[in-house]
Structure 1
Amino acid sequence: MSKIISVHSFRGGTGKSNITANLAATIARYGHRVGIVDTDIQSPGIHVVFGFDEEMMDLCLNDYLWGRCDIEETAYDVSSVLKDVAHKDSAIYLIPSSLNLGEITKVIRDGYDVGLLHDGFQELIDRLKLDYLFIDTHPGLNEETLLSITISDTLIIILRPDRQDFQGTAVTVDIARQLEVPEMLLVVNKALSNLDFTALQEQMESSYNALVAGILPLCEEVAQLASSDIFCLRYPKHPLSQIVEAIAKQILT
């Protein structure tokens, strides 16, 4: 049975795309076929983490949404990032969005058929035989985000230990409950090392009545990598990678 995981944050800058890429790669290593769709069409970026640039995109999600191609034609096999750490059945497919200014402007001006996006998700699962489909959503709440939340088996909400994030996350949590999402996990990112992580987890779980799957510390090595690689694959023994792996195992159960 395939599983759809939406990764969302109420505000930008939370590290959502990086966390999505690292979780997807970690799960793929266990021998799963994983897809990642960048539905942050107005400000796409997850392709960068996979070393995938605009020149490598013959087709992208925008082309599918404008009726130019089938959605599986926009899927690129990026399993090579796993190198020698993957199971023989491991696979990662990336469905990027366009960085072309005209394409982004068209989305902002004209919008797109959100129902078509829903159909595309299922087609990807069926045609690529995916075990897991990750949806990297646009920050905030819009029609696409609500659709992604509605069809998700698991919703992962990324937030920083910041009051603005706390308030916005409360809105997202309430909406997810109204939409009856089967599983909701909170991931706190960029937590300063001098914070009491146990107390922070208790505070988050009490405030939102939701499980905190992990707290990721603010990490200089992540900043130095500058989205040029998948951190958990580059530094598998790093404490942060171990936390990501623990979060991935919660998704797998």
Structure 2
Amino acid sequence: MSKIISIHSYRGGTGKSNTTANLAALVAREGNRVGIIDTDLPSPGIHILFGLGVKQGERTLNDFLWGKCKIKDAAYDVSYVLEEYETPNNKLYLVPASVKVNEISRILREGFDPELLFAGYQQLIKDLKLDYLFIDTHPGLSEETLLSLAVSQIVLLILRPDRQDFQGTVVTVDVARRLKVPQMFLIVNKALPEYDFEQMRQQIKATYKLPVLGILPDSPDMLRLASEGIFTIKYRNHPITEVLQKMAKQITNKTVTI
């Protein structure tokens, strides 16, 4: 059975898109058919990590939401980022959001039907025979974000070791619990290397009553890559890659023990 995994944060700047791209690539690398949808329509960006840049192609998620195309027509095969890990058995697809100013303005002005977006998730899974669909959500708690959380089997909440992130995540966790999300985990990103990670894990776990899937250290290597590729593919023996690999294995297990 296919799984929908939403990656969410209360605020922007948490590294949500980077984490989504890397986890999706790692899951695909293990022989799975994986899709990613960028639902951060006001501020899209994950497409850059896959080398699409401003030349996204003819179709985007916006076109599907406006009835101009089927959602599979806006899905691009980005399996090439897996490099030598690309095989006939695995696939990685991306449905980008439009970066055109007039189309972003239209979304902000007119909105769209969240139910249509949900139908698009299901259709994409069916058309592309996906094992996993990753949703890169818009930060905060908009209607479409709430729907994405509600239809997900797994929700990963990303926060930084920052007081504003901590307070905002409390609200998000409460909402997700009300939506009865089957599985919910926390990911801490941009933690300074001198922190005691185990102590941080226990404190955050106790605060939110949720398991911490992993803690990612802040790293100049991530800045150095500057979104020119998938970090876990480019830096295969890096400590960040090791943490992300463990997370990918945990979320694809039927039983997760943390």
CA–CA distance in structure 2, aligned partners of residues 24 and 132 of structure 1: 8
TM-superposed CA distance for 1:55, in Å, is 1.9
- The aligned residue for residue 166 of structure 1 is 166
- The aligned residue for residue 88 of structure 2 is 88
Amino acid at match of 1:95: V
The answer as to 2:15 corresponding to 1:15 is yes
Q: Is the 8 A contact 1:158 1:187 kept in 2?
A: yes
The answer as to 2:2 corresponding to 1:2 is yes
- The aligned residue for residue 232 of structure 1 is 232
TM-superposed CA distance for 1:155, in Å, is 0.1
- The aligned residue for residue 256 of structure 2 is none
TM-superposed CA distance for 1:207, in Å, is 0.2
CA–CA distance in structure 1, aligned partners of residues 88 and 188 of structure 2: 32
3-state SS in 1 of match to 2:250: helix
CA–CA distance in structure 2, aligned partners of residues 65 and 120 of structure 1: 9
Q: Per-residue CA shift, 1:55-75, capped at 9, x if unaligned?
A: 232100000000001110000
Q: Is the 8 A contact 1:49 1:230 kept in 2?
A: yes
- The aligned residue for residue 178 of structure 1 is 178
Q: Is the 8 A contact 2:80 2:86 kept in 1?
A: no
Q: Is the 8 A contact 2:56 2:96 kept in 1?
A: no
Give 5+ residue unaligned stretches, structure 2: 254-258
Give 5+ residue unaligned stretches, structure 1: none
Q: Is the 8 A contact 1:47 1:53 kept in 2?
A: yes
Q: Per-residue CA shift, 1:113-143, capped at 9, x if unaligned?
A: 1110000000000000000000000000000
With the length of structure 2 as denominator, give the TM-score of the two structures. 0.97
3-state SS in 1 of match to 2:240: helix
- The aligned residue for residue 207 of structure 1 is 207
What root-mean-square deviation, in Å, do the aligned CA atoms of Structure 1 and Structure 2 show? 0.7
Q: Is the 8 A contact 1:30 1:86 kept in 2?
A: no
Q: Is the 8 A contact 1:4 1:152 kept in 2?
A: yes
CA–CA distance in structure 1, aligned partners of residues 110 and 143 of structure 2: 14
Q: Per-residue CA shift, 1:195-214, capped at 9, x if unaligned?
A: 11011000100000000000
- The aligned residue for residue 71 of structure 1 is 71
CA–CA distance in structure 2, aligned partners of residues 140 and 190 of structure 1: 19
Structure 1 segments, 4+ long, off by >3 Å, are: none
- The aligned residue for residue 155 of structure 1 is 155
3-state SS in 2 of match to 1:190: strand
CA–CA distance in structure 1, aligned partners of residues 138 and 23 of structure 2: 18
- The aligned residue for residue 33 of structure 1 is 33
CA–CA distance in structure 2, aligned partners of residues 176 and 250 of structure 1: 20
CA–CA distance in structure 2, aligned partners of residues 80 and 55 of structure 1: 16
- The aligned residue for residue 51 of structure 1 is 51
